[in-house]
Amino acid sequence: MYAADGRTFGEWGVAADAIRIRAHNPQHGARPLSTMFEASLHRDLGIEAPHLEFGEYEKLDQSTNNEWTVTASQTFNKPVSDADIEDNHRKTDCGYLPYTVLQIRTKSRGYHTNTPTPILVDSYNDPVPTTAWANNLKGLTYTCRSGDHILPAIENAMWVGDWNNSNAEFTAVGTQKTTHMMVPAGDESATFDSQTKLQSFGDAKVVWSGSNAKAVLIPVHGSTATKLKVLDINYNDAWTSIYTGNRDDVLLMLHAEGVFSGLRLYGSVESEPITYFKGGRDSTDHSVPLYFGGGFSGVVLDVNDGSQNDYSSFYTHPYSTGPTGTAGIQNANEISTAYALVDCNALLAFFPGTPLLNQHRGSINPPAFNQDNVLSPDLDAGTLANLSANPSHVTARYTAGIVRQRPVPLVMRMPHQTARYTDHKTSTPYFTTYLIYGPGQASHSMRQPPAHW
């Protein structure tokens, strides 16, 4: 693993076994973590992914019809296609991809290994908040460029220049600038109000020419970010032996090793600091079972994770009461793992006709309903045209006054059982989708085309 300056921890004198984990008090006979878990380190490829999927945009503005417009004039700056990523294994240079993904796997196997997932705690045994961590990881919080709080943020910018031996300066070839390699010096005057002032200055960085020659270069003031010069005598013998006269088209880079190159422009955008997975391939939840209990109202849809939570204090329907809080099957914790709990009272509150329902649990009062957040009964507001392809007796009904509607359903999407273990590669859907229509919405019928769903 590399340190922030591009050298490895080994070069800094840090041994591979410098960090060890042991029990706080070995005399208490604590069980070693290695007997329960195994861990491995991986590169954070979530940093590389947005560079491919989002591209390298030049600017984002509202100059066109007050709408946000993304500008990427160069073809190579635009997002890469799915085919290039999936079929052609397209890659991109985005600096060093650190080994910051720690994958912890339990050594326990079998159907009854479902235990609460460990959480990260501090020295006071309190759960560690991850908001700031997530903002740094995703690149929402940064210092110079998005993603630079993911350490080490090592970038290997490259630049081509012509060497002038008399003044020890490089001049950019073509229209290049030095801004991607180091912070440039300014172009302002050396005086202010007739008084001499200190001129602005840029970075001073070690720059390599080839695999052996190196020197400390700084940007030249007043050069409009097109020149670099050697800082005093900060160079090695290999540099002296190479630069004995003028040279053209010299390739300079910040790091001589070819392990990494390019600039990091994004963080690990789609990542989360901690991702929890429960269960395993041999668990009986591999088909993601759904348990339905209750009736017209108050039904609880429960895909149980085997926790010992009792949800009766939250859900008053009798089928939701029990030692596991499972609707319908009270011992689901022994036969399944991952779950999602959905209160259908909350689902019912989204439909436009819910306030008009009565006989709710034997009461004349309607169920709880939303006042503002309501699903639309008709996206076309009564203007959905009749289909001439329908039989004449069906067309006559709409002509007589029946209004065709296009309601907005409530969408529930469940991932396929293999989605948790393997990446999605093909066009085959890896999820199951439920389109739920409710009171106040037109229901699907055989007289309507599938597009009406």
Distance CA 152, CA 303 (A): 41
Cis amide prior to 152 (ω within 30 degrees): yes
Q: What are the pLDDT digits (tens) for 277-317?
A: 554 444 444 444 343 333 333 344 444 444 555 555 555 55
Residue 85: predicted pLDDT: 82
Lowest mean pLDDT of 128-132, 185-189, 218-222, 392-396, name the range: 392-396
Q: How confident is the model at residue 319 (pLDDT cuts 50, 70, 90)?
A: very low
- pTM of the prediction? 0.58
Instruction: Report the range out of 109-118, 167-176, 417-426, 444-453 with the highest average pLDDT.
Output: 167-176
Q: How confident is the model at residue 360 (pLDDT cuts 50, 70, 90)?
A: low
Distance CA 227, CA 146 (A): 26
Using a 10 angstrom Cβ sphere, with 0-12 exposed, 13-18 middle and 19 or more buried, the burial of residue 125 is: exposed
Whole-number average pLDDT of the chain:
77
Reference 354, options 326, 334, 375; nearest CA is 375
Q: How confident is the model at residue 447 (pLDDT cuts 50, 70, 90)?
A: very low
Q: How confident is the model at residue 261 (pLDDT cuts 50, 70, 90)?
A: confident
Helix (H) or strand (E) segment spanning residue 62: strand 59-64
Q: What are the pLDDT digits (tens) for 231-247?
A: 988 899 999 999 999 99
Q: What are the pLDDT digits (tens) for 186-229?
A: 888 888 888 888 888 899 999 999 989 999 999 999 888 899 99
**pLDDT higher than threshold 70 for residue 111:** no
Contacts of 2 (CB under 8 A, 6+ apart): 8, 9, 96, 98, 152, 154
Mean local confidence (pLDDT), 135-146: 91
DSSP characters over 252-264: EES-SSTT--B--
**pLDDT higher than threshold 60 for residue 445:** no
Q: What are the pLDDT digits (tens) for 13-55?
A: 998 888 877 777 777 777 887 888 888 999 999 999 998 888 8
Distance CA 43, CA 41 (A): 7
Instruction: Report the range out of 51-55, 335-339, 428-432 with the highest average pLDDT.
Output: 51-55
Other C-beta atoms closer than 10 Å to the C-beta of 232 total 10
Mean local confidence (pLDDT), 128-147: 91
406 or 332: which leads in pLDDT: 406
The token duo for 96 is 């060093």
Residue 296: predicted pLDDT: 34
Q: How confident is the model at residue 110 (pLDDT cuts 50, 70, 90)?
A: low
**pLDDT higher than threshold 50 for residue 140:** yes
Mean local confidence (pLDDT), 434-441: 87
**pLDDT higher than threshold 50 for residue 124:** yes
Lowest mean pLDDT of 156-160, 187-191, 257-261, 357-361, name the range: 357-361
Mean local confidence (pLDDT), 404-428: 67
111 or 381: which leads in pLDDT: 381
Reference 219, options 235, 201, 236; nearest CA is 201
Residue 191: predicted pLDDT: 87
Lowest mean pLDDT of 299-303, 343-347, 413-417, name the range: 299-303
Share of the chain above pLDDT 70, in %: 72
